[in-house]
Amino acid sequence: MKNGNNIILIGFMGTGKTAVGKRLAGILNMDFYDTDQEIERITGMSVTRLFYKHGEIRFRSEEALMIHKLIKKKNSIIATGGGIVLNSENINLLKNTGYLVCLTAKPEVIYERVKRRNNRPLLKKGDTYETIIALLQDREELYRCADFTVDTSNMDFEEIINNILKFLSEQKANN
């Protein structure tokens, strides 16, 4: 694999990064890390609480620190927070440790997936659906840094994982 053997899942909230990452790690016998869960473990606060108590700038700082820790891992699947792409240094560091796989979904699918959960600080302001559309538009270009993209809108986990496994197999065949 590239410069490392990790698989880094990027993409907007609600696209399935954590759920797919856990399943993929089990199939490939790799370690699994979720940047948000690791931040919560280190800070002792939920992402939502960290956001409200200290603000987005502090959260993004914790996120960057976590990336510096996780890039040292080998043979791992790393699921990132949706805003990880906002810091180009994060992406450059992650890209050097393996493949960036972006999970996407249509705005209406994301809305259905996240509307019941009350743990998305960036969706607390105004109309949730409109906020999703605006954030997706802001980040669309940034997500294009991925080596491979899977639209999870109309796929089950098996189909998503099979797409990723096919991509990885093709990469190994080409190296």
Q: What is the CATH number of the domain that holds 70?
A: 3.40.50.300
Residues in the chain: 175
**Structural domain span for residue 113:** 6-174
3-state DSSP assignment of residue 130: helix
Radius of gyration of the chain (CA): 15
Q: Which of the pair, 19 or 52, is modelled with greater confidence?
A: 19
Is residue 117 situated within a structural domain? yes
Is residue 71 situated within a structural domain? yes
Distance of CA 55 to the CA centre of its chain: 20
Which residues neighbour 147 within 8 Å (Cβ) at sequence distance 6 or greater? 2, 99, 100, 101, 167, 171
Is residue 54 situated within a structural domain? yes
Is residue 1 predicted with pLDDT exceeding 50? no
Range scoring the smallest mean pLDDT among 17-21, 22-26, 43-47: 43-47
Is residue 47 predicted with pLDDT exceeding 50? yes
Give the ranges where the chain is alpha helix by DSSP (H). 17-28, 35-43, 47-70, 88-95, 107-114, 128-143, 157-174
Is residue 1 situated within a structural domain? no
Residue 110 backbone dihedrals phi, psi, to 5 degrees: -60, -45
Query: What is the per-residue pLDDT for 89?
Result: 93
What total number of domains does the chain contain?
1
Is residue 77 situated within a structural domain? yes
Is residue 150 situated within a structural domain? yes
pTM, to two decimals: 0.91
- Nearest-5° Cα angle at 78, 143 to 58: 75
- The Cα 119–Cα 18 span in angstroms is 15
pLDDT mean across residues, the chain: 89
